[in-house]
Amino acid sequence: MRITVLAGGIGAARFLRGLRAAVPDADVTVIGNTGDDITLHGLRICPDLDTVMYTLGGGIHEGQGWGREGETFAVQEELAAYGAGPDWMHLGDRDIATHLIRTRMLDAGYPLSAVTAALCERWKPGVELVPMSDDRVETHVVLEGRAVHFQEWWLAMRAAEPAQGFVSIGADTARPAPGVLDAIAGADVVLLPPSNPVVSIGAILAVPGIRDAVARTPAPVVGLSPIVGGAPVRGMADACLTAIGVETSAAGVGRHYGARAEGGLLDGWLVDTADAGTEVPGLPVLDVPLLMTSVQLTAAMATAALDLAARVR
């Protein structure tokens, strides 16, 4: 079975671990969000790709959900001693090695997809991890009278200043990375995991051709809600949804993605049992436990998503 998953960071990575446990023999292609990418201290950092790679490769800091386990911060402390900012993105020593290799390979002319494949040779995530694009696309947040990089708004400002909108810089001319469109068109199932619908899934869909490929794939497309009981399970996705006028609820996100029968993306929508009774026009909605508190429970979520996919198309 070929499964293609559009993925952000922590939510997607945890889901993917459950999916791998549920169907260990499936061919899984992960189309990773690179809208969160940023250059700091001369290093190219791809937080969502790394979160997926470390989580599936067994190197993630389990408690945090991002960054490396057993991390130290000597380099960051030294940078601070020089007064070299910014300091709002935690860069661990182990993690910096990843960014050094990535930056060096990019500078040598390798596309990000090739760099990501090279990094995955070490981590062996058990999936094909492909960035959404080899072209640089960065999410910026529109605030009163200015715009800042998504990471500055998210990490330094904790999304406290209301966003007026998001701009995907570079998206208009970006092309999907090699293999992305084929992975969507040729899948047996396409899944939208519980990722941020705006700055993770939305950023991927903003690359020209990707939204269309999802809307037209012969494969069933099933999504899982990142919103449970009217709030994000973790993080500040509500601040992103509010900015684009979408209600922070399982129904709101389901309507935002929309039913394929009505010009949207989905053939089925999974919500948490806390949201039983959720209705989305044109879509079968199923409620199952959606809290990824263990790999076993997450595998059950993945199985429910695949079962729904098999039923809807």
Contacts with Ca ion, residue ranges (CB under 5 A) = 8-9, 36, 48
- Cα separation, 44 vs 42, whole angstroms: 7
Which residue type occupies 6?
L
Spatial contact of 280 and 270, defined as CB atoms under 8 Å apart: no
Task: State which of residues 3, 6, 12, 288 lies at the interface with ligand GDP (CB under 6 A).
Answer: 12
Part in contact with ligand GDP (CB under 6 A); list of ranges 10-18, 90-98, 130-138, 163-171? 10-18
Distance CA 48, CA 12 (A): 9
Q: Does 122 bind ligand GDP (CB under 6 A)?
A: no
Residue 290 interacts, among Ca ion, ligand GDP, none and using kind-specific CB cut-offs from 5 to 8 Å, with ligand GDP
Q: Do the beta carbons of residue 134 and residue 105 sit within 8 Å?
A: no
- 129: closest CA among 119, 143, 142? 119
**Per CB under 6 A, which of residues 27..66 are in contact with ligand GDP?**
48, 51
* DSSP secondary structure letters along 97-144: HHHHHHHHHHHTT--HHHHHHHHHHHH--SSEEEESBSS--EEEEEET
98 binds ligand GDP (CB under 6 A): no
Contact segment (CB under 6 A) with ligand GDP among 125-133, 206-214, 234-242, 274-282 equals: 234-242
Q: How many residues bind ligand GDP (CB under 6 A)?
A: 22
In the block, tokens 């508190």 appear at 293
34 binds, among ligand GDP, Ca ion, none (CB under 5 to 8 A by kind): none
Which residue, 105 or 227, has its beta carbon nearer to ligand GDP? Answer: 227
Dihedral over alpha carbons 197, 235, 177, 135 (to 10 degrees) = 110
Residue 32 three-state SS: strand
138 binds, among ligand GDP, Ca ion, none (CB under 5 to 8 A by kind): none
CB 269, min distance to ligand GDP, A = 12
Question: Is residue 283 involved in binding ligand GDP (CB under 6 A)?
Answer: no
How far apart (Å, rounded) are the C-alpha atoms in residues 211 and 90? 32
Smaller CB distance to ligand GDP: residue 232 or 258? 232
Quick one: which of 177, 290, 299, 309 contacts ligand GDP (CB under 6 A)? 290
CA distance 237 to 232: 6
* Binder of ligand GDP out of 92, 176, 226, 252 (CB under 6 A): 226
Least separation in angstroms between CB 32 and Ca ion: 10
Q: What's the length of the chain?
A: 313
Pairing relationship of beta strands 165-169 and 138-143 according to DSSP bridges: antiparallel
Instruction: List interacting residues with ligand GDP (CB under 6 A).
Output: 8-12, 48, 51, 194-196, 200, 225-226, 228, 232-235, 237, 290-292
